[in-house]
Amino acid sequence: MLRLFQRKAAVLPPVAAVTETALSKGLLQPKPAAELLATPRRQKLLEHIWQRTSLSRKQFHTLYRVPLERYADLVQQFPASESHHHAYLGGMLDHGLEIVAFALKLRQSHLLPAGASPEDQAAQAEAWTAAVAYAALLHDIGKIAVDLHVELQGGRIWHPWHGPLNQPYRFRHREGREYRLHGAATGLLYTRILDSAALDWLSGYPALWSQLLYVLSGQYEHADMLGELVVQADRASVAQELGGDPAKVMAAPKHALQRKLLEGLRYLLKEQLKLNQPEASDGWLTEDALWLVSKTVSDKLRAHLLSQGIDGIPANNSAVFNVLQEHSMLQPAPDGKAIWRATVTSSNGWSHAFTLLRLSPALIWEAGERPAAYAGTVLVDADQGGDATGESAPDLLESAMQDTADDRANPPLESKPSLSTQSVAKNAPDMMDELLAMIGAPDQPKADDQENSSFQPTPDTPGKRHQVSESVPAKKNPMATSTQLSRMSRMASQLKCQLIIS
C-alpha cells in the first residue's frame, strides 16, 4: 500500500549535460554564494563593510558574512529593477552590498539610540550597527517574491520561500506589479537571511527592535533614524549606479528610460543644438562641464522622444528635470535643484543671464570626440553659490577611496540632528557628494589580515582586535575621558557578541 505514496528516484543526467542543455535554452545556472561574491568589486565592498565594524574576522563572519552569503544564495543573478537602477544580471546583489556599505558609513555619524546616555549608546553600538546593515541589506529582498516570475527547468514555478535555487532557472518581471508591495513582502523572507540567534539579540533592545520591524515591513515613515539611514543609503547607491558611468546607462535594457534620455540628449547635441556660438546659443561646453539652456533642451528632448513613440515621457519641463536628476544625469546646483543660474560672457563682450542645466561632458562624448571648449566664460550667480569647475561625482570604488584617517581617529562625540529635521535645500548636495565619495581607502591591514584577505574566517589573535576608531588624546580633547568610558562599554558590547557567536 505504501508503494502508492512513494516516488521512484529520478535518474539525473550528468551535471555537464544539465548545464549545457540549460544554457542552450536560455536558462541561468545557479551559483554558490562564494562564487557570486568572489568578483574583485564585491570583495572590495565586503572589505569595506568589515572595516566599518569593530569586530574580529570570526565575529564578522558570524554576524555579517553569513547573512550576506545567504542573501547571495537567494538573489543569485536577479536584477534590482527592470529598467531603472542596477537593471542587469547580478544587480540585486551589487545593490545589496553597496547599500550596506553606504549605510554603515552613514551610521558612523550618529550615536544611537539618540538621546541615550553615552554609556548606553556605547553598550548598544554593535547591535545598532548590525541592525543598520540588516535593514539596508533586506530593504529590497521582497522584490524577488512579488516582482519576479521565476521558472525552473521543466516549467515548475519557484518562490523564494522554497529556499535557494538549486537547478537552472529563467525569470521575467511581472506585468502590473505594485510598486510598494515589495516592502511589505520583506516579512516573508527575512528569516531566510537572519537566524534566530541574531533576532534574539536584536529584540533585546526595544527602540532598535521597533525601528527594524518598521523597516522590514516597508513602513519607513515610522522607522525613525534607522529608516532614514536606509533611505539615504539607497539613494546614494542608485545615484552611483545610474550616474557614475555612461557605459552602464547604455548597458541598460533598450526600453529603459535612462537610456532613452541619454540617447536623446546625444542625438540633440549632434543634430540640433548649437553649442559655443558667439552670442545666443543652446549650450556651452567648458573645460569641466556642459551647460545647456534649461527650457530649450527640455522642450526639444520631450519632442524628440515623443516623435520616437516612446512611452512614459514626462508631461512638462519640471518633470523632465526631476527625471534627469533622479537618474543622476544632471549635476545638481548647490540648493539641490536641477536649475543653475549663470551669466555667459563671450570673448567679444556679449553677455547674458540664463537658467541652465549642468551635465558631465563624459556622458555625451568619448574623449576623442569632445568639441573644443567655449572661449568665453560661464559664471554661476554669486547668490546661488558653487563654482563652474564641473567635477563629476566620483566613482564608488576608485576616486571615492579617499577617506582620511580622521574618520577613524575622531568619532563623533555628539548625536547629530535627525536627517528629517535638517534643511533639504541646504544639505542635499553636500550629503550626496559625501555619500558618493564615502568608500574610503581601508586602513593598513594587520599582518595576519593580509594573509586572509579573501574574507575567510580566521582565528582571533589575542591583543589584535580590529577597532573602528582610536580614542583622542586627552590634552587635545576635553571629552577624552567620556570617550574612553564609551569604549569600555563598547568592549562589553563586543563580549556580548562573543556570547552570541559561541
Q: Which of 1, 29, 44, 103 is nearest to 401 (CA)?
A: 44
Given 343, 358, 380, the domain boundary residue is: 380
Domain CATH for 203? 1.10.3210
Residue 473 included in any domain: yes
User: Count of CB atoms within 10 A of residue 454's CB?
Assistant: 10
Distance, CA of 83 to CA of 186 (rounded, Å)? 21
Residue 197 included in any domain: yes
Same-domain pairing of 195 and 263 = no
If you average pLDDT over residues 324-332, what whole number do you get?
82
Same-domain pairing of 311 and 270 = yes
Q: Give tens-digit pLDDT for 35-61.
A: 999 999 999 999 999 999 989 999 999
Same-domain pairing of 209 and 292 = no
Residue 183 included in any domain: no
Residue 445: pLDDT band with limits 50, 70, 90: very low
The DSSP symbol for 151 reads E
Per-residue pLDDT, 254:
52
Q: Inform me whether the pLDDT recorded for 79 exceeds 90.
A: yes
If you average pLDDT over residues 301-321, what whole number do you get?
80
Domain coverage including residue 85:
36-141+189-244+437-501
Same-domain pairing of 224 and 305 = no
Same-domain pairing of 234 and 271 = no
Q: Inform me whether the pLDDT recorded for 99 exceeds 60.
A: yes
What is the chain's mean pLDDT, rounded?
76
Per-residue pLDDT, 242:
60
Same-domain pairing of 361 and 494 = no
Q: Inform me whether the pLDDT recorded for 295 exceeds 80.
A: yes
Per-residue pLDDT, 501:
57
Residue 401 included in any domain: no
Residue 22 included in any domain: no
Same-domain pairing of 93 and 219 = yes
Residue 292 included in any domain: yes
| C-alpha cell belonging to residue 201 | 539579540
Instruction: Report how many domains make up the chain.
Output: 2
Q: Which of 93, 94, 52, 107 is nearest to 440 (CA)?
A: 52
Same-domain pairing of 258 and 240 = no
Given 346, 362, 380, the domain boundary residue is: 380
Q: Residue 52: CA atoms inside 13 Å, Cβ hemisphere, count?
A: 29
Same-domain pairing of 324 and 219 = no
pTM > 0.85: no
Give Cβ neighbours of residue 496 (< 8 Å, ≥ 6 apart).
Answer: 126, 201
Same-domain pairing of 346 and 476 = no
Q: Give tens-digit pLDDT for 334-359.
A: 888 899 999 999 988 899 999 999 99
Residue 486 included in any domain: yes
Same-domain pairing of 364 and 294 = yes
Q: Tell me the sheet residues that pair with 355.
A: 341
Composition of the chain by helix, strand, coil, percent to 5? 50, 10, 45
Residue 8 included in any domain: no
The backbone torsions φ and ψ at residue 500, rounded to the nearest 5 degrees and listed phi first, read: -65, -45
Same-domain pairing of 109 and 203 = yes
Residue 492: pLDDT band with limits 50, 70, 90: low
Distance, CA of 298 to CA of 319 (rounded, Å)? 10
Given 380, 395, 411, the domain boundary residue is: 380
